[in-house]
A and B are shown apart, each in its own frame.
Chain A
Protein backbone atom coordinates (compact mmCIF):
# COMPACT_ATOMS: atom_id res chain seq x y z
CA UNK A 1 0.00 0.00 0.00
CA UNK A 2 1.02 3.61 -0.53
CA UNK A 3 2.67 5.55 2.29
CA UNK A 4 -0.61 7.38 2.91
CA UNK A 5 -2.17 3.98 3.48
CA UNK A 6 0.22 3.46 6.37
CA UNK A 7 -0.98 6.69 7.86
CA UNK A 8 -4.57 5.46 7.85
CA UNK A 9 -3.47 2.09 9.13
CA UNK A 10 -1.80 3.49 12.21
CA UNK A 11 -5.06 4.61 13.77
CA UNK A 12 -6.87 1.36 13.05
CA UNK A 13 -4.25 -1.17 14.08
CA UNK A 14 -5.73 -1.67 17.53
CA UNK A 15 -9.16 -2.27 16.05
CA UNK A 16 -7.77 -4.77 13.57
CA UNK A 17 -5.91 -6.75 16.23
CA UNK A 18 -8.87 -6.78 18.62
CA UNK A 19 -11.25 -7.78 15.86
CA UNK A 20 -9.07 -10.68 14.72
CA UNK A 21 -8.73 -11.97 18.26
CA UNK A 22 -12.44 -11.64 18.95
CA UNK A 23 -13.37 -14.00 16.15
CA UNK A 24 -14.01 -17.62 17.02
CA UNK A 25 -11.05 -19.65 15.90
CA UNK A 26 -10.04 -23.24 16.40
CA UNK A 27 -9.45 -22.75 20.11
CA UNK A 28 -11.70 -21.10 22.66
CA UNK A 29 -10.89 -18.42 23.59
CA UNK A 30 -9.25 -17.54 20.33
CA UNK A 31 -5.52 -17.05 20.67
CA UNK A 32 -2.95 -16.01 18.12
CA UNK A 33 0.74 -15.27 17.98
CA UNK A 34 2.35 -12.28 16.31
CA UNK A 35 3.29 -13.86 13.00
CA UNK A 36 -0.13 -15.48 12.73
CA UNK A 37 -1.77 -12.08 13.04
CA UNK A 38 0.34 -10.55 10.26
CA UNK A 39 -0.46 -13.56 8.05
CA UNK A 40 -4.19 -13.32 8.77
CA UNK A 41 -4.20 -9.63 7.85
CA UNK A 42 -2.18 -10.28 4.70
CA UNK A 43 -4.48 -13.09 3.60
CA UNK A 44 -7.71 -11.19 4.14
CA UNK A 45 -6.53 -8.04 2.40
CA UNK A 46 -4.95 -10.13 -0.38
CA UNK A 47 -1.55 -8.64 0.35
CA UNK A 48 -2.78 -5.04 0.38
CA UNK A 49 -1.94 -4.58 4.04
CA UNK A 50 1.25 -6.12 5.33
CA UNK A 51 1.91 -5.44 8.98
CA UNK A 52 5.54 -5.05 9.83
CA UNK A 53 6.68 -6.44 13.16
CA UNK A 54 7.74 -2.93 14.06
CA UNK A 55 4.12 -1.80 13.96
CA UNK A 56 2.54 -4.89 15.42
CA UNK A 57 4.44 -5.64 18.61
CA UNK A 58 4.20 -2.23 20.26
CA UNK A 59 0.43 -2.44 19.77
CA UNK A 60 0.19 -5.94 21.21
CA UNK A 61 2.23 -5.06 24.26
CA UNK A 62 0.32 -1.85 24.74
CA UNK A 63 -2.99 -3.71 24.67
CA UNK A 64 -1.61 -6.20 27.14
CA UNK A 65 -0.55 -3.39 29.44
CA UNK A 66 -4.03 -1.89 29.23
CA UNK A 67 -5.46 -5.21 30.35
CA UNK A 68 -7.27 -5.99 27.11
CA UNK A 69 -5.08 -8.96 26.21
CA UNK A 70 -3.51 -11.77 28.18
CA UNK A 71 -0.54 -13.76 27.04
CA UNK A 72 0.70 -17.27 27.49
CA UNK A 73 4.12 -18.42 26.43
CA UNK A 74 4.43 -21.94 25.16
CA UNK A 75 7.20 -23.98 23.66
CA UNK A 76 6.29 -24.99 20.16
CA UNK A 77 8.76 -27.19 18.28
CA UNK A 78 11.64 -26.00 20.40
CA UNK A 79 10.78 -22.32 20.16
CA UNK A 80 9.14 -20.03 22.65
CA UNK A 81 5.93 -18.69 21.23
CA UNK A 82 3.80 -16.03 22.86
CA UNK A 83 0.07 -16.34 22.32
CA UNK A 84 -2.33 -13.46 22.80
CA UNK A 85 -5.99 -13.72 23.69
CA UNK A 86 -8.69 -11.29 24.75
CA UNK A 87 -9.66 -10.65 28.34
CA UNK A 88 -13.37 -10.10 29.08
CA UNK A 89 -12.67 -6.38 29.06
CA UNK A 90 -10.88 -6.82 25.74
CA UNK A 91 -13.90 -8.56 24.22
CA UNK A 92 -16.09 -5.60 25.16
CA UNK A 93 -13.59 -3.13 23.78
CA UNK A 94 -13.33 -5.12 20.55
CA UNK A 95 -17.07 -4.86 19.93
CA UNK A 96 -17.04 -1.18 20.82
CA UNK A 97 -14.08 -0.38 18.57
CA UNK A 98 -15.51 -2.22 15.59
CA UNK A 99 -18.87 -0.43 15.84
CA UNK A 100 -17.12 2.89 16.26
CA UNK A 101 -14.97 2.22 13.24
CA UNK A 102 -17.93 1.17 11.10
CA UNK A 103 -19.72 4.35 12.01
CA UNK A 104 -16.60 6.30 11.13
CA UNK A 105 -16.36 4.58 7.74
CA UNK A 106 -20.00 5.43 7.00
CA UNK A 107 -19.34 9.04 7.86
CA UNK A 108 -16.25 9.11 5.68
CA UNK A 109 -18.09 7.53 2.79
CA UNK A 110 -20.76 10.19 3.08
CA UNK A 111 -18.08 12.83 3.15
CA UNK A 112 -16.35 11.50 0.05
CA UNK A 113 -19.56 11.09 -1.93
CA UNK A 114 -20.83 14.54 -1.20
CA UNK A 115 -19.28 16.36 -4.18
CA UNK A 116 -20.71 13.74 -6.55
CA UNK A 117 -24.27 14.19 -5.31
CA UNK A 118 -23.89 17.95 -5.51
CA UNK A 119 -22.69 17.62 -9.08
CA UNK A 120 -25.75 15.59 -10.09
CA UNK A 121 -27.95 18.19 -8.43
CA UNK A 122 -26.95 20.84 -10.98
Chain B
Protein backbone atom coordinates (compact mmCIF):
# COMPACT_ATOMS: atom_id res chain seq x y z
CA UNK B 1 0.00 0.00 0.00
CA UNK B 2 1.29 3.44 -0.88
CA UNK B 3 2.39 5.63 2.02
CA UNK B 4 1.54 9.29 2.51
CA UNK B 5 4.27 11.85 1.99
CA UNK B 6 5.43 14.09 4.86
CA UNK B 7 3.54 17.01 3.27
CA UNK B 8 0.33 15.03 3.16
CA UNK B 9 0.88 14.00 6.76
CA UNK B 10 1.35 17.65 7.67
CA UNK B 11 -2.00 18.48 6.07
CA UNK B 12 -3.68 15.86 8.24
CA UNK B 13 -1.85 17.03 11.33
CA UNK B 14 -2.93 20.60 10.70
CA UNK B 15 -6.50 19.52 10.31
CA UNK B 16 -6.44 17.68 13.63
CA UNK B 17 -4.87 20.60 15.47
CA UNK B 18 -7.45 22.99 14.02
CA UNK B 19 -10.24 20.63 14.98
CA UNK B 20 -9.10 20.93 18.57
CA UNK B 21 -7.58 17.54 19.25
CA UNK B 22 -5.70 17.32 22.54
CA UNK B 23 -2.03 16.47 22.99
CA UNK B 24 -2.70 13.11 24.56
CA UNK B 25 -4.48 11.93 21.44
CA UNK B 26 -3.12 13.76 18.44
CA UNK B 27 -0.33 11.35 17.42
CA UNK B 28 -2.59 8.36 17.65
CA UNK B 29 -5.40 10.02 15.74
CA UNK B 30 -2.94 11.14 13.08
CA UNK B 31 -1.84 7.56 12.51
CA UNK B 32 -5.45 6.43 12.49
CA UNK B 33 -6.73 8.83 9.87
CA UNK B 34 -3.53 8.45 7.83
CA UNK B 35 -4.27 4.71 7.66
CA UNK B 36 -7.78 5.49 6.49
CA UNK B 37 -6.59 7.88 3.81
CA UNK B 38 -4.08 5.29 2.60
CA UNK B 39 -6.82 2.72 2.43
CA UNK B 40 -8.95 4.96 0.21
CA UNK B 41 -5.95 5.70 -2.00
CA UNK B 42 -5.37 1.96 -2.23
CA UNK B 43 -8.97 1.63 -3.39
CA UNK B 44 -8.12 4.01 -6.21
CA UNK B 45 -9.15 7.47 -5.04
CA UNK B 46 -6.76 10.39 -5.59
CA UNK B 47 -5.31 11.93 -2.43
CA UNK B 48 -7.62 14.98 -2.34
CA UNK B 49 -10.73 12.85 -2.69
CA UNK B 50 -9.53 10.34 -0.10
CA UNK B 51 -8.66 13.18 2.23
CA UNK B 52 -12.05 14.84 1.98
CA UNK B 53 -13.83 11.51 2.48
CA UNK B 54 -11.90 10.84 5.66
CA UNK B 55 -12.17 14.40 6.92
CA UNK B 56 -15.91 14.27 6.44
CA UNK B 57 -15.97 11.66 9.18
CA UNK B 58 -13.22 13.25 11.22
CA UNK B 59 -14.71 16.73 11.15
CA UNK B 60 -14.53 19.26 13.93
CA UNK B 61 -17.60 17.84 15.61
CA UNK B 62 -16.22 14.32 15.80
CA UNK B 63 -12.78 15.36 17.01
CA UNK B 64 -14.21 17.73 19.63
CA UNK B 65 -16.66 15.09 20.74
CA UNK B 66 -13.81 12.64 21.15
CA UNK B 67 -11.81 15.14 23.16
CA UNK B 68 -14.76 15.85 25.44
CA UNK B 69 -15.64 12.19 25.98
CA UNK B 70 -12.02 11.50 26.61
CA UNK B 71 -11.75 14.22 29.19
CA UNK B 72 -14.82 13.07 31.08
CA UNK B 73 -13.87 9.41 30.94
CA UNK B 74 -10.25 9.89 31.82
CA UNK B 75 -10.61 12.67 34.36
CA UNK B 76 -8.84 12.21 37.68
CA UNK B 77 -10.86 10.58 40.41
CA UNK B 78 -11.64 12.55 43.55
CA UNK B 79 -8.94 10.63 45.35
CA UNK B 80 -6.34 11.52 42.74
CA UNK B 81 -7.51 15.12 42.76
CA UNK B 82 -6.87 15.32 46.48
CA UNK B 83 -3.25 14.40 45.94
CA UNK B 84 -2.70 16.18 42.64
CA UNK B 85 -0.69 19.37 42.53
CA UNK B 86 -1.84 22.39 40.54
CA UNK B 87 0.67 21.37 37.88
CA UNK B 88 -0.93 17.95 37.58
CA UNK B 89 -4.32 19.55 37.07
CA UNK B 90 -3.15 22.13 34.57
CA UNK B 91 -1.17 19.56 32.59
CA UNK B 92 -3.84 16.87 32.56
CA UNK B 93 -4.35 15.77 28.91
CA UNK B 94 -1.52 18.02 27.81
CA UNK B 95 1.85 17.09 26.42
CA UNK B 96 4.01 16.59 29.49
CA UNK B 97 7.01 15.41 27.50
CA UNK B 98 7.32 18.81 25.83
CA UNK B 99 9.29 20.24 28.75
CA UNK B 100 7.18 22.84 30.51
CA UNK B 101 5.86 20.26 32.96
CA UNK B 102 9.36 19.20 33.98
CA UNK B 103 10.49 22.80 34.35
CA UNK B 104 7.57 23.54 36.62
CA UNK B 105 8.07 20.37 38.63
CA UNK B 106 11.72 21.20 39.20
CA UNK B 107 11.10 24.89 39.82
CA UNK B 108 11.33 24.80 43.63
CA UNK B 109 14.55 22.82 43.71
CA UNK B 110 16.10 24.95 40.99
CA UNK B 111 15.19 28.14 42.79
CA UNK B 112 16.55 26.82 46.09
CA UNK B 113 19.80 25.69 44.50
CA UNK B 114 20.27 28.98 42.68
CA UNK B 115 19.60 30.89 45.90
CA UNK B 116 22.07 28.85 47.95
CA UNK B 117 24.66 29.06 45.24
CA UNK B 118 24.33 32.84 44.85
CA UNK B 119 24.65 33.43 48.60
CA UNK B 120 27.52 30.94 48.86
CA UNK B 121 29.48 32.55 46.05
CA UNK B 122 28.86 35.98 47.53
CA UNK B 123 30.14 34.84 50.94
CA UNK B 124 33.24 33.33 49.33
CA UNK B 125 33.90 36.55 47.42
CA UNK B 126 33.54 38.68 50.56
CA UNK B 127 35.87 36.39 52.51
CA UNK B 128 38.40 36.42 49.71
CA UNK B 129 38.40 40.22 49.46
CA UNK B 130 38.79 40.43 53.20
CA UNK B 131 41.75 38.05 53.07
CA UNK B 132 43.39 40.00 50.24
CA UNK B 133 43.02 43.34 51.99
CA UNK B 134 44.49 41.95 55.22
CA UNK B 135 47.21 40.00 53.40
CA UNK B 136 46.78 37.20 55.92
CA UNK B 137 44.55 34.12 56.02
CA UNK B 138 43.25 32.02 58.87
CA UNK B 139 40.35 29.60 58.83
CA UNK B 140 39.49 30.45 62.42
CA UNK B 141 38.91 34.16 61.71
CA UNK B 142 35.45 35.46 60.78
CA UNK B 143 36.42 35.64 57.09
CA UNK B 144 37.64 32.05 57.22
CA UNK B 145 34.37 30.80 58.69
CA UNK B 146 32.37 32.78 56.11
CA UNK B 147 34.53 31.26 53.36
CA UNK B 148 33.90 27.73 54.65
CA UNK B 149 30.15 28.26 54.95
CA UNK B 150 30.03 29.73 51.44
CA UNK B 151 32.09 26.86 50.05
CA UNK B 152 29.89 24.19 51.61
CA UNK B 153 26.77 26.01 50.36
CA UNK B 154 28.09 26.06 46.79
CA UNK B 155 29.17 22.43 47.02
CA UNK B 156 25.72 21.43 48.25
CA UNK B 157 23.98 23.36 45.47
CA UNK B 158 26.20 21.92 42.74
CA UNK B 159 25.79 18.39 44.07
CA UNK B 160 22.02 18.78 44.33
CA UNK B 161 21.80 20.18 40.80
CA UNK B 162 23.92 17.30 39.48
CA UNK B 163 21.73 14.68 41.17
CA UNK B 164 18.63 16.28 39.73
CA UNK B 165 20.13 16.16 36.25
CA UNK B 166 20.96 12.48 36.64
CA UNK B 167 17.46 11.68 37.80
CA UNK B 168 15.94 13.51 34.84
CA UNK B 169 18.17 11.65 32.41
CA UNK B 170 17.16 8.33 33.92
CA UNK B 171 13.51 9.31 33.60
CA UNK B 172 13.86 10.34 29.99
CA UNK B 173 15.69 7.11 29.17
CA UNK B 174 12.72 5.08 30.28
Contacts and interface: CB of A to CB of B under 8 A. Distances in A.
Interface of A: 33-35, 38, 52-54, 57-58, 61-62, 65, 73, 77-82
Given A53-B66, A58-B66, A80-B27, 15 more contacts: A33-B31, A35-B35, A35-B36, A38-B32, A52-B57, A52-B62, A53-B32, A54-B62, A54-B65, A54-B69, A61-B70, A61-B73, A78-B6, A79-B31, A82-B31
Contacts, number: 55
Contacts of A53: 29, 32-33, 58, 62, 66
Nearest to B25: A57
Interface in B1-46: 3, 6, 9, 24-25, 27-36
B32 A35 contact: yes
B103 interface: no
B85 to A, nearest CB: 19
Given A54-B69, A58-B66, A58-B69, A82 B74 contact: no
Main secondary structure of the interface of B (DSSP, over half): helix
A82 B27 contact: yes
A79 B57 contact: no
A65 B35 CA distance: 25
Contacts of B58: 53
Contacts of B34: 79
A34 B62 contact: no
A92 B66 CA distance: 29
Contact of A62 (B3, B27, B66, B74): B74
A38 B6 CA distance: 24
A116 B28 CA distance: 48
Contacts of A34: 28, 31-32
Determine which residue in A38, A61, A79, A80 has the highest number of CB atoms from chain B within 10 A of its CB, and name it: A79
Contacts of B24: 61
